A and B are shown apart, each in its own frame.
Chain A
């Protein structure tokens, strides 16, 4: 596509102009201008992708560069798809993905809806709410480990205060049944503001006169909410879900800092698992196949989702 548009520009250029510039034709000049970007794109995106696909069919190990590389066909793929542990990390990822999205959409939209009401100081509140999003995930992960401390953690104290339970009787990070929720809570705390901002943009894009028309058409607030607010914000909301979904599918930093995948491997999401296979166990071929599978999954899901999104937009 790139080539054809370059050519189209070149062809549309009058000959007289094309002849100038030290004997360089306009077409050559056009290629000269786009070449750096194309080279860069090929070098850092396309080539690694193709190389990864190639490696995924071999038993190559990057820590043994001199060993003979064997072509193993689909063996890596079959091993991955039949590995119970990998399915467990997939489950952990699905749990994380679904709950963060559900919570962030519900809380984010509610906050946006409230902030959108005119009241004193709502700009200040917006700024305060948006703060977590501005922090580094590593910092957030680190200080939530303190908040989750059974003895001194504020989170445990607050739960204890509200429910009457002993704050040191549970450990969000150390307990196998609580750790998956611990990472959901932190991600929700950090990224709900993002969903809120997008929802707020959606809400503010609805002209007030539409609500006035609905008011005159005798639609109750309830009906206005479901027949006007929700359908008009939906494309924005879906966009937020897409962004959060892609981000959280490859979630790494926050969770590594918080639980390191533990306890055991209960919070070991696929990207953490993948990093282990590639750079701790050095099974490069195997990890490449793993990466290809994840890439196809994200790409496939995202394309289906974007189609749905466009349909909603055109409604």
Chain B
């Protein structure tokens, strides 16, 4: 495993600038999650590191070595593709063996067999080893494709939305499994997703991308609590952060255009009156949909709240985040 550094990497496809001067360090043994909606350059970043695409400018280093001109094979990276990309004519076993059978490695037969079995058991596909790769469900295919990366011992694992096509239960299981494998083996992982839960639960570092630029990089907690902008703030947190005009509450600093309030950062009981529009009981918590001075906002409250729609409560901000006109946070 190795540290991966991107230095001022830019890439455009035709007239679209996919990556705009991105610098990023993935520390050795870190689980870095790149977060952002479709089309912000997450996958492009992965492809720069893998060597499947080359940057127009800037440099990629793996383990301190510049990667310019090196093929994916020479970089020794393992990649999990969003669309599985299994070898359709091979069995699950043959798919898992494929990377190990590289003549570069000269892995002994018993070692291959042991490794394949080990990975298949971890991913709960041991009973499907002799199935054809195309005769699997989507979830099984994606597990094989993750397995194909895990059998190896690469410098870095690159994963492109590996869980996005799985059902909720399997996604939750594999989230824990991936995190466990990463913690156990100390693997370095660069992981792309648009799912904030994956980012929050697995990442040691989160990189927030917007229009080809890395807007914030830090621990999930840091990004959650100290977002640099409205954009970064809305990437994490479910329900989303409430963004309201800054002057809606007293005490906004000068230059503040809007105030960001996470649902749990709205204190109830004192302050100003808000109308309860709807009450959502989720079991472990209850969400309140409020109307406050003609603005909608969402907050959370006690699971067994007696509140009903139509009642009023008093609210005040507890840990407000202020943003300027450009959406950047005011310190």
Interface residues in chain A, defined as those with a beta carbon under 8 Å from any beta carbon in chain B: 207, 209-210, 212-220, 223, 227-228, 231-232, 315
Cβ contacts A to B, 24 pairs, < 8 Å: A207-B83, A209-B81, A210-B88, A212-B72, A212-B79, A213-B87, A215-B51, A215-B73, A216-B50, A216-B72, A216-B73, A216-B78, A217-B98, A217-B152, A218-B72, A218-B73, A218-B99, A218-B104, A218-B105, A219-B102, A220-B73, A223-B102, A227-B87, A315-B89
| Mask of B197-210 contacts with A, CB within 8 angstroms, 1/0 | 00000000000000
Docked complex: B112-137 residues within 8 A CB-CB of A: 132
Q: Closest approach, in angstroms, between the C-beta of B157 and any C-beta of chain A?
A: 10
Bound together, the chains give a CA A218 to CA B85 distance in angstroms of: 15
Instruction: Identify which of A213, A215, A232, A315 gathers the most chain B CB atoms within 10 Å of its CB.
Output: A213
B71 interface residue (CB < 8 Å to A): yes
Look across to chain A and name the residue whose beta carbon is closest to the beta carbon of B79. A216
Which residue of the partner chain, among B88, B89, B99, contacts A217 with CB atoms under 8 Å?
Answer: B99
Q: Taking chain A's interface residues, is the majority helix, strand, or loop, or is none over half, making it mixed?
A: helix
Instruction: Give me 19 other A-B pairs in contact (C-beta within 8 A), A216-B72, A220-B73 excluded.
Output: A207-B83, A210-B87, A212-B72, A212-B79, A212-B81, A213-B85, A214-B87, A215-B51, A215-B72, A215-B73, A216-B77, A217-B99, A218-B76, A223-B102, A223-B103, A227-B87, A227-B98, A228-B87, A232-B88
Instruction: Identify which of B89, B152, B158 gathers the most chain A CB atoms within 10 Å of its CB.
Output: B89
Known: A216-B78, A232-B88, A232-B89. A209 touches B103 (CB 8 A): no
B81–A213 contact, CB under 8 A?
A: yes
Docked complex: B265-310 residues within 8 A CB-CB of A: none
B262 interface residue (CB < 8 Å to A): no
Look across to chain A and name the residue whose beta carbon is closest to the beta carbon of B99. A217
Q: Closest approach, in angstroms, between the C-beta of B272 and any C-beta of chain A?
A: 55
B172 interface residue (CB < 8 Å to A): no
Look across to chain B and name the residue whose beta carbon is closest to the beta carbon of A208. B85
Which residue of the partner chain, among B71, B89, B105, contacts A215 with CB atoms under 8 Å?
Answer: B71
Residues of chain A within 8 A (CB-CB) of B158 are 216
Look across to chain B and name the residue whose beta carbon is closest to the beta carbon of A313. B89
A219–B98 contact, CB under 8 A?
A: yes
| Mask of B69-102 contacts with A, CB within 8 angstroms, 1/0 | 0011100111101010111110000000011001
Look across to chain A and name the residue whose beta carbon is closest to the beta carbon of B83. A209
Residues of chain B within 8 A (CB-CB) of A231 are 89
Q: Closest approach, in angstroms, between the C-beta of B300 and any C-beta of chain A?
A: 42
Bound together, the chains give a CA A212 to CA B86 distance in angstroms of: 11
Look across to chain A and name the residue whose beta carbon is closest to the beta carbon of B53. A212
Residues of chain B within 8 A (CB-CB) of A227 are 87, 98
Q: Which 4 A-B pairs have the closest CB atoms?
A: A218-B73, A217-B99, A213-B85, A216-B79
Instruction: Identify which of A210, A212, A216, A219 gathers the most chain B CB atoms within 10 Å of its CB.
Output: A216
B330 interface residue (CB < 8 Å to A): no
Q: Closest approach, in angstroms, between the C-beta of A231 and any C-beta of chain B?
A: 5
Bound together, the chains give a CA A232 to CA B85 distance in angstroms of: 14
Bound together, the chains give a CA A285 to CA B99 distance in angstroms of: 64
A210–B85 contact, CB under 8 A?
A: yes
A213–B79 contact, CB under 8 A?
A: yes
B181 interface residue (CB < 8 Å to A): no
Residues of chain A within 8 A (CB-CB) of B103 are 220, 223
Q: Closest approach, in angstroms, between the C-beta of A238 and any C-beta of chain B?
A: 14
Docked complex: B37-91 residues within 8 A CB-CB of A: 50-52, 71-73, 76-79, 81, 83, 85-89
B148 interface residue (CB < 8 Å to A): yes
Q: Closest approach, in angstroms, between the C-beta of A124 and any C-beta of chain B?
A: 23
Bound together, the chains give a CA A223 to CA B99 distance in angstroms of: 11
Bound together, the chains give a CA A218 to CA B86 distance in angstroms of: 15
Look across to chain A and name the residue whose beta carbon is closest to the beta carbon of B100. A217
Residues of chain B within 8 A (CB-CB) of A216 are 50, 52, 72-73, 77-79, 158
Residues of chain A within 8 A (CB-CB) of B73 are 215-216, 218-220
Bound together, the chains give a CA A216 to CA B51 distance in angstroms of: 9
Residues of chain A within 8 A (CB-CB) of B51 are 215
Residues of chain B within 8 A (CB-CB) of A223 are 102-103
Docked complex: B212-247 residues within 8 A CB-CB of A: none
Known: A220-B103, A223-B103. A215 touches B85 (CB 8 A): no
Bound together, the chains give a CA A227 to CA B85 distance in angstroms of: 14
